[in-house]
Chain A
Amino acid sequence: MLKLNNIEVVYDRTILVLHGVSLEVPKGQIVALLGANGAGKSTTLKAISGVLKPERGEIIAGSIDFNGVRIDHREPAEIVKLGISQVMEGRRVFEHLTAEENLIAGAHTRHDRRQIRQDLELVYGYFPRLAERRHVKAGYLSGGEQQMLAIGRGLMSRPKLMLLDEPSLGLAPLLVEEIFEIVLRLNQEEDVTVLLVEQNAAMALSIAHHGYIMENGRIVLDGPAEVLRNNEDIKEFYLGLSEVGVRKSYRDVKHYRRRKRWLS
């Protein structure tokens, strides 16, 4: 469905952030994009949804295909209309609008009121808490509610593909679980394809079909989620486990660090 082919992104014409990233998101799947801070995950998402410009970024090589249409160098509004919707990191709800107004604003590119109404109910179905607080200003919602609102707002444009940027940021583990379950349900029931960027690798890999690992602006490893879950390197560096299911104890920490296999 979405295909990135050797994308290179430069900020300010001087800082090369993505050194040729290729990845593929098949229809109907959840794909996780994992990596440490500064690996280039968010930049990849921004390159897809076309919002690099305000940050002085530019795609200088490669191509992005969405259902066979090239979408690099297109305006963000066009990309949304094609069916890609991004839920940005850190929520970014419209604080002075109510929850419901936020959702309706999410349907900005659509004009069929009846359908929008239906979708609103759909979102409330997935996020009952938003239904309760529909007339509260978004600024007064809790962090978890705001994250739900952000995802709900993303849904309102009826996307074929959703780009989720760190939905677990700053949320309690229970809430994170709740949100991930909803993402999974959306994927299964509404047939929304998801590209998920996460720090919480364990969580992400638990719902994803496929995973990509990024480091320093490159994809260093990819594979089906269960394969990655069992990869020794991933366990060591991303899941914080030395043996499956066993939490690492500092008493056992070796004096040398494990070397990432992909660096050799």
Chain B
Amino acid sequence: MINREAGVFHTSYESDMALYALPLAKITAWGMVALLVLLPLPLSLLQNEHLMSIVNTIALAAIGAIGLNILVGYTGQISIGQGAFMMVGGYTAAILSTRYGMPFWVGILAGGAMSALVGVLFGIPSLRIKGLYLAIATLAAQLIMEWTINHVTWISGGAQSSIYVQNPTVFGWELDNEFRRYYLILVFFLLAYFAAQNLVRSRVGRAFIAIRDRDIAAEIIGVNIFKYKLLAFAVSSFYAGVAGALWTYYLRIANYENFTLVVSIEYLAMIIIGGLGSVLGAVLGAIFIKLFPIALDLTVIGISEGIFGVRYGAVADFLANFQLFVFGALIIVFLIAEPEGLARMWENVKRYFRLWPFSY
């Protein structure tokens, strides 16, 4: 992932297709995993649940973004219904664990499965329409799900349309603080990341990309478009459902207002900024969209109070809007600097170092 790739030559198909081009790459990947696993240690020594919570929300968002990228970035089917599919997962998990006493992992997997089912249903229009038209069709998914959850009290559990759940327990450990919740999220994040990495290099992944790049050509070579488009919706919604269920256990409440249209658009923004058609890009995009507003907020407050000695409260309106402005400007700057997203930026850096110091 972050090692130099200069002088890598493949001598067999196996090595060419390997997820990691070099033994070193495998080591760095494991190193990253180890880093992620050990991350709570220093933070818990510092008793910094705050930073942990930021990491948690980013990881949660990354799972959803990877899922959306499989659909939008790899298969080329635009969807602004990500929130709806997360909603389905969230409520499924909440209903199973509160009414039927199921353990959390059943809730999460069932949330994903249910969401995949609903995703396939709303994916049917994609067989006839593409692009912006499909986007509008998925918008309908968003509105229909919101309406359903709002009005079918069997699902929503009453007028408040929200269901509280208990903290998950693993081997008698109640996941009742940010550090423990992190591990739950991390397991699913790693599974999501590596599953997606492998999926897109497989037969199925190539079919997805073929559909995205030239659907007619894909059909000609024997890709069953019907099957694979729906499969893309199913896989993507499964991710969304798992993410939604995890959100539910993380917040201990299933509430449709956590997954509104704004959220759907936010996920689309993540994968566009991160890089369409890149698993790493989805993660980077999630980091960008979730971390930057918070980092900006802390920075602005830090500067205001530390350098100018002005308490945030006195100029809150200005500072709050200023951050928003800077955040918007940052998005534009990054997109101009690299229209294909953060993942491409990373590629470029890597490519630069492949030739370094003898570049052009």
Contact = CB atoms under 8 A, between A and B. Distances in A.
A10 B348 contact: no
A10 B351 contact: no
B355 interface: yes
Contacts, number: 17
B360 A60 contact: yes
B74 to A, nearest CB: 22
A10 B360 CA distance: 8
Interface of A is mostly: strand
| Chain B interface bracket (under 10, 10 to 19, 20 to 34, 35 or more) | under 10
Interface in A2-43: 8, 10, 12-14, 16
B11 interface: no
A14 B6 CA distance: 12
B360 A12 contact: no
Contacts of B355: 14
Contacts of B359: 13-14
A16 B359 CA distance: 10
Interface residues of A, number: 7
B352 to A, nearest CB: 7
Contacts of A8: 360
Interface in B303-360: 348, 351-352, 354-355, 359-360
Interface centre among A13, A14, A16 (most CB of B within 10 A): A14
Interface string A177-194: 000000000000000000
A60 B348 CA distance: 18
A235 B360 CA distance: 36
A60 B359 CA distance: 12
A14 B353 CA distance: 10
A16 B358 CA distance: 12
Nearest to B351: A14
Interface in A157-182: none
Interface in A198-252: none
B360 A16 contact: yes
Nearest to A60: B360
Nearest to A58: B360
Nearest to B360: A10
B5 to A, nearest CB: 12
B131 to A, nearest CB: 15
A231 to B, nearest CB: 33
A60 B351 CA distance: 18
B216 to A, nearest CB: 14
A60 B360 CA distance: 8
Contacts of B354: 14
A21 to B, nearest CB: 15
Contacts of A14: 351-352, 354-355, 359-360
A14 B351 CA distance: 7
Interface string B250-294: 000000000000000000000000000000000000000000000
B225 to A, nearest CB: 22
Interface in A49-101: 60
A13 to B, nearest CB: 7
Contacts of B360: 8, 10, 13-14, 16, 60
Contacts of A13: 348, 351-352, 359-360
B336 to A, nearest CB: 13
A49 to B, nearest CB: 22
B88 to A, nearest CB: 39
Contacts of A10: 360
Nearest to A16: B360
B263 to A, nearest CB: 33
B77 to A, nearest CB: 23
A14 B352 CA distance: 7
A173 to B, nearest CB: 26
A215 to B, nearest CB: 20
Interface in B124-159: none
A12 B359 CA distance: 11
Contacts of B351: 12-14
A9 to B, nearest CB: 10
Contacts of A12: 348, 351
B337 to A, nearest CB: 13
A104 B211 CA distance: 35
A8 B360 CA distance: 10
Nearest to A8: B360
Nearest to B355: A14
Nearest to A14: B351
A14 B348 CA distance: 9
A133 B354 CA distance: 53
Nearest to A10: B360
Contacts of A16: 360
B241 to A, nearest CB: 38
Contacts of A60: 360
A11 to B, nearest CB: 10
Nearest to A61: B360
A60 B352 CA distance: 16
Contacts of B352: 13-14
B358 to A, nearest CB: 11
Counting chain A CB atoms within 10 Å of each CB, the highest count among B351, B354, B360 belongs to B360
B187 to A, nearest CB: 37
Interface of A: 8, 10, 12-14, 16, 60
For the complex of A and B, list the 6 residue pairs with the smallest distance between their C-beta atoms, beginning with the closest: A14-B351, A10-B360, A16-B360, A14-B355, A60-B360, A12-B351
17 contacts: A8-B360, A10-B360, A12-B348, A12-B351, A13-B348, A13-B351, A13-B352, A13-B359, A13-B360, A14-B351, A14-B352, A14-B354, A14-B355, A14-B359, A14-B360, A16-B360, A60-B360
Given A13-B360, A14-B360, 5 more contacts: A10-B360, A12-B348, A13-B359, A14-B351, A14-B352
